[in-house]
Chain A
Amino acid sequence: MTGAAPPVTPPVTPPVTPRVGLFATCLVDLYRPSVGFAAASLLEQAGCEVDVPRAQVCCGQPAYNAGDRTNAAAIARQTIDLFEGFDYIVAPSGSCAGMLRHHYPDLLSDDPQYATRAQSVADKTWELIGFLTDVRSWTDIDASWPASVTYHDACSGLRELGIKDQPRQLLKKVEGLELCELEAADVCCGFGGTFCIKYPEVSGAMVDNKVDDIVATGAATVLSGDLGCLMNIAGRLSRRGEAVEARHIAEILAGPATGPAIGPAIGSAADNDGGKA
Chain B
Amino acid sequence: MIPLFHRASRQGGLLIALALFVLFYGLYTFEHPRGGSADLIVQNANETFTLALVAMAQTVPVLLGGLDLSVGPLMTMVNCLASHLLVGDGWDLAFGIVLCLCAGLLAGFVNGALVVYGRIQPIIATLATGAVLIGIALFLRPTPGGAVDSDLSWAATNTLFDVADTYGWWGGDLPGWFRAIQSIPVPVILIVLVVLLVWLPFKNSVTGRGCYAIGSSEQAAFMSGVAIDRSKLAAFTLAGFFAAVAGVYLALQTGSGNADTPMAGAYTLNSIAAVVIGGTSLFGGSGGAVASIVGVMVLRAISFCFRVVPEDSPLGFLANPLLQPLFEGVILLGAVSLGAARVFTVKNRLQLFG
A binds B: no
By a beta-carbon cutoff of 8 Å, the part of chain B in contact with chain A is none
